[in-house]
Structure 1
Amino acid sequence: MEGGTARHMDAKDRALIGLLARDARQPVVGLARALGLSRSATQERLRRLEASGVIQGYTVRTRPGSQTLQAWLSITLRPGATCVQLVPAVLACPAVRICHSVAGPVDMMVLAQVGSVEELSALRERFAGLPGVAEVRTAPVLAVHAGA
């Protein structure tokens, strides 16, 4: 961000927001380690995200459109593979918001939030390459309807 104008959010910014959304009380050192950045670089990103209004508080409220694409990824496992084996690798992805082990024709349902179709494609390929994964299907969210 320069002179009060918004800057484009990159993958590290979105990953930082994802980490904070999971636990907004993480120390900067822990965030930096998870992002593969220095403490000062991470602190500078936080300052810019706060100054631009992307981060409005530490319940982490993001500006609409700052993470624009949600999708459900349906993961089917190979025979012998288990969700317990796969869950740690899935939850390690900052884009993952929810991970459910389910019964039925698929084994896991993962809700992810990313900034672009390209990032969604990369996430899908990442999951497809995990040991024990037979198939990954992707369903982008078109609208969210909340009930009581």
Structure 2
Amino acid sequence: MTSSLDDRLLSALRRNARLSTSELARQLDVSRATVQNRIRKLEDAGIIEGYTVRLGQSWRDKRIRAHVLVEVEQKRSAEVTRRLEQLDSVAALYVISGNYDLILELEVDSTGALSRQLDDIGLLTGVLRTTSSVILETRVRQ
């Protein structure tokens, strides 16, 4: 369980993970040592798993992105998921409830590449059907 301070710290890091501990301390109105200790505890608890690059919208706008709903034959779910995780175009994979079993977020260079990737996914043993939607614009990303 996280405290209010932890929640505020995580929120600040989600906005900009490159903030110095001094700047985080100033924003949160606590000492640098407190920020360092909280970050270490959040890392040790597995709440913070790592730090990564978040690509800018100008770069992402040059890519074709799509959400793909995938219905999977239940007995082949683990196998299909393993195969999908190996695809370079899969930016995210979510297990969901409802009429479909998975949502993929694909990211490719062109509509041709998207079409080929969708064909390949549809041909995987255990995939029953797919429905895709091209992402036109991202308005909120946190």
- Which residue, 51, 74, 87 being the options, matches 2:81? 87
Structure 2 residue 69 is matched with structure 1 residue 71: no
Distance of aligned partners of 1:60 and 1:135 in 2 relative to their CA distance in 1, 3 Å threshold: same
Query: How do residues 49-128 of structure 1 correspond to structure 2 at under 5 angstroms?
Result: 59=53, 61=55, 64=59, 67-78=62-73, 80-82=75-77, 84-128=78-122
Q: Tell me the percent identity.
A: 13
For 1:128 and 1:91, locate their aligned partners in 2 and report how far apart those are by CA, in whole Å: 15
Match of residue 135 from structure 1:
129
For 2:128 and 2:137, locate their aligned partners in 1 and report how far apart those are by CA, in whole Å: 28
Alpha-carbon shift at residue 61 of structure 1 (Å):
4.1
Structure 2 residue 138 is matched with structure 1 residue 144: yes
Structure 1 residue runs without a partner (length 5+)? 1-57
For 2:96 and 2:108, locate their aligned partners in 1 and report how far apart those are by CA, in whole Å: 23
Q: Secondary structure at the match of 1:89?
A: helix
Work out whether residues 67 and 113 of structure 1, in 8 Å CA contact, stay in contact via their aligned partners in 2.
no
Specify the structure having the higher radius of gyration (Cα).
2
For 2:60 and 2:73, locate their aligned partners in 1 and report how far apart those are by CA, in whole Å: 36
Structure 2 residue runs without a partner (length 5+)? 1-51
Alpha-carbon shift at residue 81 of structure 1 (Å):
3.0
Number of matched residues? Answer: 90
Distance of aligned partners of 1:92 and 1:147 in 2 relative to their CA distance in 1, 3 Å threshold: closer
Distance of aligned partners of 1:144 and 1:66 in 2 relative to their CA distance in 1, 3 Å threshold: closer
TM-score by length of 2: 0.56
Which has the larger helix fraction?
2
For 2:60 and 2:79, locate their aligned partners in 1 and report how far apart those are by CA, in whole Å: 34
Alpha-carbon shift at residue 67 of structure 1 (Å):
4.6
